[in-house]
Amino acid sequence: MKVLVTGCGGFLGSNIVQQLLRRGDQVKGLGRSDYPELQRAGVDLVQGDVRNAAIVQQACQGVDAVIHTAAKAGIWGPWKTYHEINTVGTENVIAGCRKAGVKVLVYTSSPSVTFDGEDQTDVDESVPYPQHWLCAYPQTKALGEQAVLAAHQPGDLHTAALRPHLIWGLGDPHLFPRLVARAKSGRLRIVGDGNNMIDTVHVTNAAAAHLNALDQLTQWDDPDAGGKAFFITQGKPVNCWEWIAKVLEVHGVTPPTKRIGFESAWKAGAAFEKFYKLFRIKSEPPMTRFVAAQLAKDHSFDISAARKLLRYQPTVSDEEGLLEIAKSLA
């Protein structure tokens, strides 16, 4: 197959590209920057932004499938930017697929599209979208996800959305560096009672799940996975703060011992949000309601559907992933 990967230079996108190349697929990449290492690996690179419909349409030409990972992540920033990239950009990808006759579209979503600030304990894909949102990222990703799933047409365009939770691994530019920086500066606090359970996913497993979805959607009548969303995790929930402690210890950083109650963190987050919006401060607040809830609540997901319909099976364990990072830091 020839596969277009949007966000090809990102942490997840680049790992998807590598796995596609290793198994012999041709890869086209759409990214905002120039990636010489991808070009050297044989990727046909198109430089551009998913907000540009013409560029997206150009990138979709001549491919059999699209894996759409490009997005604006984060917990703070103007709604307009998140909506243009995560929602309108996704609509551009759908339109590009239709115009170019692309047969398969796999969308990288997020479990946060179902998060309303309360505990999520072993929930499956039947959990509804929330009525209220805590920040622009999950809402705009949910709108993108809904558009992708609605675009599924048996025998025409086959679509699915994957919801990987807390992607990590060697080369992670986001999650681990953020935790390490906060811990080193003394700004990381255990929020809540410290007993909340979470799911995560190693980047190798998350990337492989996208290839699984790609393969299942190529079944050319009405694939069982078509038009559905799937949670993607390690398949083994862990205690949030015990896991964070392991991550920090691997990086030679002392885990936090100071605590803040969830209610106090939530109220502080609400106050910071109001203050930053009032004075139009662009930098991220030290606490938000979304972050407070993410750090204090359960986030565990039933991946039975992904195992059954995508043939997804995590292959890299937490222990193996952390050992790989420890060796790289030695």
Q: What is the pLDDT of residues 77-94, one digit of tens each?
A: 999 999 999 999 999 999
Residue identified by tokens 């979709």 is 60
Q: Looking at the annotation, which residues are catalytic?
A: 137
Nearest in space to 74 (alpha carbons), one of 63, 85, 89: 85
pLDDT at 247: 97
Q: Which two tokens stand for residue 217?
A: 């959607």
- pLDDT (mean) for 230-259: 97
Residue-wise pLDDT for 12-33, tens only, equals 999 999 999 999 999 999 999 9
The runs of H, that is alpha helices, within 101-221 are 136-150, 175-184, 203-217
User: What is the CATH number that goes with domain 2-172+200-233+299-316?
Assistant: 3.40.50.720
pLDDT band at residue 169 under the 50/70/90 scheme: very high
What is the number of alpha carbons within 13 Å of residue 329 lying toward its C-beta? 16
The residues spanned by each domain of the chain are 2-172+200-233+299-316
Surface-to-core class of residue 246, CB atoms within 10 Å of its CB (0-12 exposed, 13-18 middle, 19+ buried): middle
How many other CB atoms sit within 10 Å of the CB of residue 121? 14
b/e per residue, 174-199, with b = 16+ CB within 10 A?
eebeebbebbeeeebbbbbeeebbbb
pLDDT, mean over the chain: 96
The percent of residues above 90 in pLDDT, for the chain, comes to 98
Q: For the chain, state the CA radius of gyration.
A: 19
Residue-wise pLDDT for 246-268, tens only, equals 999 999 999 999 999 999 999 99
pLDDT of 38 higher than 90: yes
pLDDT of 221 higher than 90: no
Tell me the one-letter amino acid at 273: E
pLDDT of 10 higher than 90: yes
pLDDT at 220: 78
pTM for this model (two decimals): 0.97
- pLDDT (mean) for 308-320: 97
Residue-wise pLDDT for 202-216, tens only, equals 999 999 999 999 999
pLDDT at 198: 98
Close Cβ partners of 328 (under 8 Å, ≥ 6 residues apart): 170
pLDDT at 330: 86
pLDDT of 118 higher than 90: yes
pLDDT at 222: 82
pLDDT of 219 higher than 90: no
